[in-house]
Amino acid sequence: MKVAIYCRLSEEDRNKLNESDDSNSIQNQKAMLLQYSIEQGWEVYNIYSDDDYTGSDRRRPEFNRLIKDAENHCFDIILCKTQSRFTRELELVEKYIHGLFPIWGIRFIGLVDNADTANKGNKKSRQINGLVNEWYLEDMSENIRSVLTNRRQSGYFIGAFAPYGYKKDPDKKGHLIIDEEAACIVREIFTMFAQGMGKTNIARKLNARGIPNPTEYKAQHGDRYQRPPNQKGVLWQYFTIADILTNETYIGNLVQGRYGSISYKTKICKPRPKSEWYIVPHTHEPIIDQDLWNTVQTLIRERAKPFSTGKIGIFARKVRCANCGQVMRSCSNRGRRYLKCSTRNIGPDLCIGSFIPVSYLEQAVLTELHTIIQNYLDIDKVEAGVVVSSGLAEKKKALLVEKASYERTLNDYKKGLKDLYMDKFHGVISAEDFQELSKALGSERQTTERALSEIEAQLCDIEEKLKVNNSKRELVLKYINCKHLTSSIVSELIDYIVVGKRIPGTRKYPVEIHWNF
């Protein structure tokens, strides 16, 4: 039997000598599980180790490698210290431990908490453990959120990296001090804007002087900072300048909570409305004096020129240039609105400069949305108020009937074994006959249990698909008659859009829409 050992540690590792070392706790887990494997006579296929990852993080690299190898049946057993080391999510317990692992022929063992899929009697205890771990995650998330909220409201900076122009005070936790090297650039940006220079022009001048933008500055000065995977280039952009010019942090006010996670199960963050930000005045030394700040804010308000159609911003920060990956800006010409990549304006030969009319993009989004609706539902029946069944409900119903049949068969096998035992006990059959008959019944019972596990896995998969379909159905019914887009519709439906340069000789533009569903 080949065994895969999986170890995980979620706490900050305080015992590492360098980044490549495992922590002592991970080493202890490995030693315990290796010793147990040797005692059982199992061959260790591989040791998978995720350090500094939570049990709810589905992006764990070694965890995902383990799942892939399990699907390919590279081993027969997965051995963990506890079930919670594998995952703290009940959903993943059902999906893998009770669903896919039996189908793949993989046995799962949690050594300390006695979670073992070979023991059919402790399935309920494994499910209870999964539920308790799920509650633990939720409670821990709420407790952490409460503590962080309290610290934000008390004026303590809790971010991993200080805002551009500041650095963390080494002598006072949660306090910001001025980083003079970056603060000089911040003052220069405010001064240039107050003197009448535009944001794009400011970005161009900073790029011409070779000054790294805030992201690149962090990469150069942050010991543990990693540039975001979608970050392309180290150039100053229009939006970077715009964010700095409206950030109250530079007048001594601590501004936090501008982004928040969707739920405790994901690390994906979304912008929050300003009413939900945490703004505490006078927490640190300002870089910009109040008079200069007031001048700049007045200029920003005066320069704001909303389009008369009132539709400016429906694609705000949602559209990216296919060539350089930067967010495209709104502009207008002769009453028509456009989106353009501004990278060409901040440095020579940096981008081909994607460009698209807003009306064209709006129609492209609506066309694809209506295509999705038509592919998902029968429009005639929807208009009549009847939602077309996807076939999943019927399949679920058939599987439930089949499951009930297998469960009855299992009960019959259990009763048969009990009756056989009583016949042996009363001398009706011999011990040899009992052994032979019980072995045959046991084999048939195992076959039925495997079939039942496969059905349960299929039912779990159908439930997930039904949840997705239900959410899609609600979305479809909500926007089935949508003829015009608004910023709220775009925000709900679209993650981001990639636009390329117009196809030569045509009036068509390459558009790639990434939906939120």
Q: Are residues 241 and 284 in the same domain?
A: yes
CATH number of the domain where residue 37 is located? 3.40.50.1390
Instruction: Report which of 259, 290, 284 is spatially closest to residue 157, judged by C-alpha positions.
Output: 284
**Residue 316 sits in the same domain as residue 234:** no
Q: Which amino acid is at 163?
A: P
Q: Are residues 41 and 108 in the same domain?
A: yes
Query: Which residue, of 285, 304, 323, is where some domain finishes?
Result: 304
pLDDT tens per residue across span 361-398:
999 999 988 887 777 666 545 444 444 445 667 778 88
Say yes or no: 197 and 65 in one domain.
no
If asked whether residues 159 and 146 sit together in one domain, one would say no
- Number of domains into which the chain is organized: 4
Contact partners, residue 187, CB within 8 Å, separation at least 6: 287, 288
Q: What is the pLDDT of residues 456-511, one digit of tens each?
A: 888 887 777 666 666 666 666 677 788 888 887 888 888 899 998 888 888 899 99
Question: Is residue 442 domain-shared with residue 420, that is, in the same domain?
Answer: yes
Is the distance from CB of 465 to CB of 473 less than 8 angstroms?
no
Considering 130, 151, 172, which residue would you say is the last residue of a domain?
A: 151
Angle between helices 199-208 and 180-194 (to 10 degrees): 140
> What's the average model confidence in pLDDT over 441-459?
79
Q: What is the DSSP string of 276-305?
A: GSEEESS-S--SS-HHHHHHHHHHHHHH--
Contact 395, 460 (CB under 8 A): no
Q: Is the domain of 135 the same as that of 159? A: no
CA 393 remoteness from chain centre: 29
**128 and 182 co-located in one domain:** no
Give the model confidence (pLDDT) of 294-348 as tens digits. Answer: 999 998 887 765 443 444 468 877 898 888 888 888 888 877 888 888 776 666 5
State the average pLDDT over residues 177-192: 94
The crossing angle, in degrees rounded to 10, of helices 238-245 and 180-194 is: 90
More confident site: 202 or 112: 202
Are 16 and 45 in the same domain? yes
Asked if residue 285 belongs to a domain, the reply is: yes
At 223 the pLDDT is 57
Residue with tokens 């000598």: 17
Query: Are residues 286 and 187 in contact, defined by beta-carbon separation less than 8 angstroms?
Result: no
In a domain, 324, yes or no: yes
**pTM tops 0.75, yes or no:** no
475 located within any domain: no
Residue ranges of alpha helices (H) inside 379-425 are 379-383, 392-425
402 and 355 share one domain: no
- The range of the structural domain enclosing residue 362 comes to 307-377+480-517
| Mean of pLDDT over the chain | 79
32 with 175, same domain?
A: no
Q: Is residue 199 part of a domain?
A: yes
Q: Are residues 41 and 99 in the same domain?
A: yes
383 in a structural domain: no
CA atoms within 13 A on the CB side of 77: 22
